[in-house]
Amino acid sequence: MDLQTPIAQASKAYKMYASRLAKLGIFKIEDFLFHTPFRYEDYSLVSKIGQVQPGETVTLKGEVVEIKNQYTRRFKTIQKAKVKDETGEIEITWFNQPFIPKTIIKDDFVSFSGKVESFHNKPSMQSPDYEVVSENMLHTGRLVPIYPETKGVSSKWLRRQVFKALSESKDEIKEFLPSKTIERNSLLDLRDALEKIHFPKTMEEAEKAKERLSFDELFLLQLSSLFRKTEWNKKIIKKPFKVENFQKELTKFKGSLPFELTKAQEKAINEILEDFKKDKPMNRLLEGEVGSGKTVVAAAGILVSYLNGFQSALMAPTEILAQQHFHTISKLLEPFKIKVELITHSSKGKKNADVYVGTHALISSKIKFDNLGFVVIDEQQRFGVEQRTILRQKGENPHVLTMTATPIPRTVALTIYGDLDLSFLDEMPKGRKKVKTWLVPPEKREGAYEWIEKQVKEGDQVFIICPLIEESENMVSVKAATKEFERLRKEVFPSLRLALLHGKMKAGEKEEILRDFKDKKYDILVSTPVVEVGIDIPNATIMMIEESQRFGLAQLHQLRGRVGRGEKQSYCLLFTDAKNPSTLERIRSMETIYFGPELAELDLKLRGPGQIYGTMQHGKEIFKVADFSDFDLVKKARTEAEIIFPEMENNPELMEKVALINKSLVSPD
């Protein structure tokens, strides 16, 4: 058995655990080593029994004088033990663990770790961690690692597997960082780091080990980005686009717009045009607020592609988004008599168009392009790597622009999308009104309902967002959309027209409800966060969010972006029953900050990276240890990657690691 042995093949015992371990991302023996603790229980204070005080968390070592099961009336059991050392005796109790008297027997010398309590004026311990004293103490008398667990897989069991894997793999853990990198960045070697992250003697050791493993993840990600960028730059365009020849048409395009472009839009368009002039294809990410005008920027690129004799394709993740883009692009390019066709599963479009706008139906083998020169992918993280590659391969090295409205801190964007050139739309169109945002305490709920009804009777529409579809037993306080919908319809707004939308509905059903809402057949749409991306309902002016403390700031901001699309003043009401001052302060930041990446950056500092995982890499957590909020380490890893990249071929171990990352990462290539 070596580190690469799959769990299911390692032993009969492991085979039984294989499906459970898969939930933790453990598929082979090596994965135990990188399943790192999220905290440590400090059992390092070892005391004599006669010296303990109630309230202390300590480790006691002694001889088991007596141990037995006691049965209660309801067939439950209590396990009782008496343990002594040279200074005294203590009683230890467990509940409903009848196997313990078989694990620990009379006369064993055992170590117990936990909190000391007082029972009948005598010290006692309830449900402590325990192990028979041996040379390798894993569960008591030290800093004890606590791991992410799943049903049937405890931290105690994981500790034993990690220790076994470390003990049996002394020659298998190969250092892959160049010695210069380790020296320059004052890092532990890999073997040392793995031992100390799992079984540290001090918290300083654990932190130093975490730094090394975090650095590895950030450094390898940076290297893989540089590698992908280099590979992309090897692609050649036989006929670079001409831009200077079409300044007159570009001026006409800008002049035909019913609004003035922002400086950020002008800058992004110029960056795209500069890319077009090169003999290698563009690979650019355009990040911009909901409503910041990404589609107009893409349309300028589509126009220049058309004027150069090339077709363009714009792919969106849903039919309703594709339809919105189709109508916008058609209208923007109307003065130039450009043929735009919609391709979805329900609308196949015609052949020989200049621009195809559609869902992933665009990648169907039936859709042929004569001369595809420009590909635009909206909300690119919603597509798999294969889907994006298939669309690109319908042309010969076409330019690629990917777009996202997901608010990502700049630091994170540079780390995750290091292989792309980045453009940011960091200002809203002129004249666009800010969505007035208020944190609403429980005592103002009824007043808010009355105000909402008044606004609806004046012709406005409302979104009401609930975090879950159905109430789950472990989150009873969360307002479920289905239950809340019924309550609102019957008790709060009986005279208004309400609809319900959630993620478990079929795509066609969801799109029909959204169409009807857009056509003003409903006054209020009660929904889960499924409405967060791309839905454009100009008449919706109120966004009300229940249990707002359960959302990240970036997600709240995206939900807020569903309103304020028309000319009327719009509002966002953030409801919460939370009492914690720091939680309320976090939500209240929505009242003053209106720039998505700034909110995402703030959430990163306040809540850690959990809120942005899954929004950028198609639901895939890309780090096990590293944390985007450690800005210094992110910078250090980027600097080191740039130093080492030119010498990569001299480091085969490093090349192998980068190849594995590139294979697993969701990337535009």
pLDDT of amino acid 112: 96
pLDDT digits (tens, 9 = 90+) for 26-57: 999 999 999 999 999 999 999 999 999 999 99
pLDDT of amino acid 664: 64
pLDDT digits (tens, 9 = 90+) for 580-637: 998 999 999 999 998 888 888 888 777 665 544 434 443 345 678 887 778 789 889 9
Query: In whole angstroms, how far apart are CA 36 and each of 266, 361, 592?
Result: 46, 42, 38
pLDDT-wise least confident of 87-96, 110-119, 287-296: 287-296
Instruction: Summarize the confidence of residues 528-549 as an average pLDDT.
Output: 82
Instruction: Summarize the confidence of residues 254-272 as an average pLDDT.
Output: 93
Q: Distance between CA 529 and CA 472 in Å, rounded?
A: 17
pLDDT of amino acid 536: 75
DSSP string across 84-112: EETTEEEEEEEES-TTHHHHS-TT-EEEE
pLDDT of amino acid 544: 95
Query: In whole angstroms, how far apart are CA 359 and each of 314, 321, 323, 342, 345?
Result: 8, 8, 9, 9, 8
Instruction: Work out the pLDDT band at 519, boundaries 50, 70, 90.
Output: very high
pLDDT digits (tens, 9 = 90+) for 294-350: 999 999 999 999 999 999 999 998 888 888 899 999 999 999 999 999 998 876 655
Sheet holding 372-378, edge to edge: 340-343, 355-358, 311-315, 372-378, 399-404, 283-288, 421-425
Residue at token pair 């085979």: 15
How many helices (DSSP H) and strands (DSSP E) are in the chain? 22, 22
Instruction: Summarize the confidence of residues 176-199 as an average pLDDT.
Output: 96
pLDDT-wise least confident of 6-15, 71-80, 97-106: 71-80
pLDDT of amino acid 351: 67
Q: Which two tokens stand for residue 342?
A: 């919609």
pLDDT-wise least confident of 466-475, 520-529, 532-541: 466-475
pTM of the model: 0.76
pLDDT of amino acid 478: 47
Helix (H) or strand (E) segment spanning residue 159? helix 155-168
pLDDT of amino acid 618: 36
635, with CB counted inside 10 A (0-12, 13-18, 19+), is middle
Residue at token pair 């019913």: 258
- Reported residue count of the chain is 669
pLDDT of amino acid 363: 87
pLDDT at residue 202 is higher than 80: yes
Q: Which two tokens stand for residue 64?
A: 């088991």
pLDDT of amino acid 585: 92
Q: Which residues of 178-210 are buried (b: 16+ CB within 10 A; e: fewer)?
A: beebbeebebbebbbbbbbbbbbeeeebbebbb
The runs of H, that is alpha helices, within 458-550 are 481-487, 507-518
pLDDT of amino acid 479: 56
Number of other CB atoms surrounding residue 455 within 10 Å: 17
Backbone angles phi, psi at 419, to 5 degrees: -85, -5
Contact 297, 286 (CB under 8 A): yes
Query: Residue 60's beta-bridge partner residues?
Result: 47, 112
Instruction: Summarize the confidence of residues 656-667 as an average pLDDT.
Output: 72
Contact 112, 81 (CB under 8 A): no
pLDDT of amino acid 384: 66
pLDDT of amino acid 622: 65
Q: Which two tokens stand for residue 442?
A: 């429980």
Query: In whole angstroms, how far apart are CA 443 and each of 102, 313, 400, 572, 591?
Result: 57, 51, 51, 17, 19
Backbone angles phi, psi at 326, to 5 degrees: -60, -50
Helix axis angle, 203-233 to 631-644, nearest 10°: 50
